[in-house]
Amino acid sequence: MSISINNLSKTFGQFQALTPLSLDIYDGEMIGLLGPSGSGKTTLLRIIAGLEHANSGTIKFGDRDVTNLHVRDRRVGFVFQNYALFRHMTIEDNVAFGLRVMDRKQRPSSQEIDKRVAELLDIVQLSHVAKRYPEQLSGGQKQRISLARALATQPEVLLLDEPFGALDAKVRKELRRWLRSLHDELNFTSVFVTHDQDEAMELSDRVVVMSNGRIEQVDTPARLYDQPNSRFVFDFLGGVNVYKGDWDNAEHWRNGSAFITPHDQAPFKHNGLLYVRSHELTLSDKENKQASLPGKVMSVTPIGAEIRVEVAPIGWESEEYWEVRLSHRHFDNHQIKRGDVVYMVPEAGYFFAENTHQNPQKLSWPFLERDAVMFEI
């Protein structure tokens, strides 16, 4: 079931929760609403569900206008962060609840309800807990039961509000894989809210990045990462270093004792900000013609498959330490430690000219002076 949102807005008193926004969600697509607290993502989800009503705009499920329909008439399934299971009911009764409270004309027979509940418990791989109560289940099991209950009424759209937020990291990762697999198997349309970038990137067919009630960018995870269209998206996705450079009318962006040489093209011959991701940096023991970003190593921290090195600029200004991510192989070959003086060398970056916030110019340096590189990522 496709969803078409057109010029939707919402206010709470004087607070503008959603400025007029539009979004098309395709049939069978899984969409992630990603953004910080207060960005409007949960409000948008609740309006799609019918739990809140917009001040203006329309919502269509396929060709059906549901803008003014009550939540019970929209045929949506909703999965909450806190599971919202009934503690006094068994698991099978929780899953069956939505079916048993349907209008008599639409309600399946008792035999059909029992059959559907058994099928759903089998799908979520929890048939063996049918007679238990919610307090007897783990957090991950409760969330799967919550999902089974949402699917019981055969909704046209499945909506999930921070579905894995109350779970630990390992269980979250397992359930993400499971939900994606289930989605592909059953081919329902789903929209979920998250502030976890990894979750959005792993689960979504497309990601909707929101801030201050607006949609900043809608794209596939790969394109969102490769072509972020604004400073907000860069800052929110994280893992990026920012170099504030003044064009010297010759060939460099300068900042104190530091410099970077951009491409010899007009769009780069301005003051501005260069965004450099932490894995698109190398470390050298000396400056080169491309860049000189001297710094002192402040910390060296193993994080999973990488080593995170934090570097404090020497002789130039930055609001934060710079972060460089190295592979274990390169770190093992070239041990570095706190207190070492190094030079950071960008391999690629995104340039925002002064006073611009969108549509950066992408640039790279493919002919990096390899003999000057001491550590490669």
- Fold entry, domain 239-375: OB fold (Dihydrolipoamide Acetyltransferase, E2P) (2.40.50)
Q: Kindly report the pTM of this predicted structure.
A: 0.80
> What residues does 214 pair with on adjacent strands?
211
Burial class (CB in 10 A: 0-12, 13-18, 19+), 308: middle
Cβ–Cβ < 8 Å for 311, 340: no
Above pLDDT 70, what percent of the chain? 95
Residue 61: is its pLDDT beyond 80? yes
Residue 305: is its pLDDT beyond 70? yes
Spans of all domains in the chain: 3-226, 239-375
| 162-209 pLDDT per residue, tens | 877 766 777 778 778 888 888 888 888 999 998 888 888 888 999 999
Mean pLDDT of the chain: 87
| 92-118 pLDDT per residue, tens | 998 898 888 888 888 888 888 889 899
**CA trace torsion 189, 193, 196, 202 (10° rounding):** 0
- Fold entry, domain 3-226: Rossmann fold (3.40.50)
| 310-353 pLDDT per residue, tens | 999 999 999 899 999 987 776 666 678 899 999 998 988 999 99
| 262-293 pLDDT per residue, tens | 888 888 899 999 999 998 888 888 888 888 99
Query: What DSSP line would sit under 313-327, residue for residue?
Result: ESSS--SS-EEEEEE
Average pLDDT over residues 29-40: 92
Supply the pLDDT for residue 266: 85
Supply the pLDDT for residue 333: 64
139-152 and 110-123 are packed helices; what angle lies between their axes, rounded to 10 degrees? 140
Burial class (CB in 10 A: 0-12, 13-18, 19+), 54: buried
> What residues does 161 pair with on adjacent strands?
193
